[in-house]
């Protein structure tokens, strides 16, 4: 077992065999270190969700615009896209793994539970963070299967045959992401899944954002209302942007 020793006259030292990463291990093994990692990975994921939503709004600028954007991301960025994908996956996994671990630790430290659940700032969003998080993860897997791997929903092609989303091509022969999104959200049950999950994402983010800011040290009377307002504002913008795309297709404002 690695142990650490404090040298009162100098810097913290580590017992022989503890290795050069003992500080990291001790820090990341602590609940505080893990909470900070959950906050940082959460904030990075919010950044991804915001820019993903902004990019998807190109649906409103027309077929050429969104198809060119998707083509740029997938084909013009070279290795960068794979580094970004790897980073995104690492963020998702770290965030979920540590959040669940912290929750289980807290439960184990209090096996009987409170007679009355009256935590400092408990509200339905804060008590359901793990559950909304698990639904969002399930949604992300469904979403990848749906759009990225085209495993969920066959489409009718121009020549009347059935195919996958990958068979949809525009006039330039590029992947027709515009037609793919229209095909996806023209199907009522797919739109319904997206809409319900966007609401749960809003619930998760509107609590997660102020909670992360608190963990990162922005606390106190002055910051608390501002952090809450920022949480609702960012979560609300992501919700409205994503809703707009689904509803615009559903209502046929965006046409094939
Ligand atoms: C209505 C809301 C959303 C729309 C319209 C949408 C649309 C899309 C589309 C069209 C793609 C595939 C792009 C392509 O293959 O060319 C995609 C990929 C992706 N989306 Fe979304 N998305 C939405 C919400 C979300 C949410 C809430 C998350 C996260 C929880 C998410 C995570 C991802 C990821 C991780 C990818 C794969 C990126 C890659 O291939 O590298 N999306 N999305």
Six-digit token pair at 113?
């539970």
DSSP category for residue 16: T
Give the Å distance between the CA of 144 and the centre of ligand 1.
Answer: 7
> What is the number of the ligand 1 atom nearest to the C-alpha of 147?
12
| Predicted pLDDT at 248 | 98
Q: What's the confidence (pLDDT) of residue 20? A: 58
Q: Which two tokens stand for residue 56?
A: 């998807």
CB 146 within 8 A of CB 180: no
* Residue 136: C-alpha distances to residues 38, 43, 132, 139, 177 (Å): 16, 15, 6, 5, 23
Nearest residue (by CA) to ligand 1, atom 30, is 140
Q: What is the pLDDT of residue 188?
A: 95
Neighbour-count burial of 25, counting CB atoms closer than 10 A to its CB (0-12 exposed, 13-18 middle, 19+ buried)? middle
- Closest-CA residue, ligand 1 atom 28, reads 140
Burial class for 124, CB neighbours closer than 10 Å (0-12, 13-18, 19+): exposed
DSSP, res 175: B
Closest residue by Cα to residue 194 from 183, 185, 204, 207: 185
* 243 three-state secondary structure: helix
pTM: 0.85
Distance 227 CA to ligand 1 centre (A): 27
Using CB distances shorter than 6 Å, the residues near ligand 1 are: 49, 52, 56, 70, 85, 88, 136, 139-140, 143-144, 147-148, 177, 181, 194, 201, 242, 245-246
pLDDT in tens, 192-218: 999 999 999 999 999 999 999 999 988
């Amino acid at each position: 077992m690695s142990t650490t020793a404090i040298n009162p006259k100098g810097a913290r030292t580590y017992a022989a065999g503890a290795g050069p990463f003992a500080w990291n291990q001790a820090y990341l093994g602590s609940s505080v270190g893990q909470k900070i990692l959950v906050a940082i990975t959460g904030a990075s994921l919010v950044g991804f969700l915001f820019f993903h939503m902004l990019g998807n709004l190109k649906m409103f600028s027309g077929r050429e615009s969104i198809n060119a954007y998707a083509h740029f991301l997938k084909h013009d960025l070279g290795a960068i896209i794979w580094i970004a994908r790897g980073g995104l996956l690492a963020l998702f996994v770290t965030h979920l793994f540590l959040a669940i671990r912290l929750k289980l630790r807290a439960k184990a430290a209090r096996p009987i539970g409170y007679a009355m659940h009256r935590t400092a700032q408990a509200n339905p969003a804060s008590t359901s963070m793990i559950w909304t998080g698990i639904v969002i993860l399930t949604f992300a897997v469904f979403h990848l299967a749906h759009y990225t791997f085209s495993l969920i929903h066959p489409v009718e092609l121009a020549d009347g045959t059935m195919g996958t989303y990958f068979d949809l091509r525009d006039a330039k022969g590029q992947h027709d992401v515009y037609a793919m999104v229209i095909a996806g959200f023209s199907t009522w049950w797919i739109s319904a899944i997206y809409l319900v999950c966007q609401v749960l994402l809003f619930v998760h983010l509107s609590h997660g954002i102020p909670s992360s800011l608190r963990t990162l040290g922005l606390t106190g009377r002055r910051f608390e209302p501002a952090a809450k307002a920022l949480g609702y504002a960012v979560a609300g913008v992501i919700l409205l942007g994503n809703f707009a795309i689904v509803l615009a297709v559903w209502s046929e404002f965006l046409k094939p």
